[in-house]
Structure 1
């Protein structure tokens, strides 16, 4: 993997946790809307929608650059629609990103087998 791939994975990783948090907050707001007079759903819906669209755009870029198998790409997409999935995706993406950076540095320094 090269540094552009590592950057794409980093962007996806950085948006995955906020997207997961916004999903959980939106669920709480939905419950509050039905049980109290508070209605933050329109605001949180917009915030979550923007973060989800960013996740999907960054997911598509990471899929293209990392050359994921369809099964791997589907797994990361599924993580965007599960309430806690973004946290699992962030953890896995951190490992992938670290591996990509290490491989790019090794290749740049001319280490054999990188």
Structure 2
């Protein structure tokens, strides 16, 4: 398979439980067939990394999140959004998520990565 990266982009937050975890399900499926993937969370979606949101996970959503963690898929959060939504250093450590400005993602897209919006 070609080594073209897919970036799963989402802004839906924890108040949309089923829809908000879509990037994790899709990235997990893509990674399982050998596609290079990462997840970019912005706005309310950064709150998904808080422990109170993760503690509610069950079923397919929990399985997808655990699979993403096991595969060490990069999870990026925009810094200002994560801070505004109370994502702590502990949350970052527990999830493996990292802070990154959107400009870095735009650079990857300009270099050939495919952006997949999960907010539809």
TM-score (norm 2): 0.30
- Structure with bigger helix share is 1
Structure with the greater relative contact order (CA < 8 A, sep ≥ 6): 1 or 2?
1
Mark the structure with the bigger radius of gyration: 1
TM-score (norm 1): 0.31
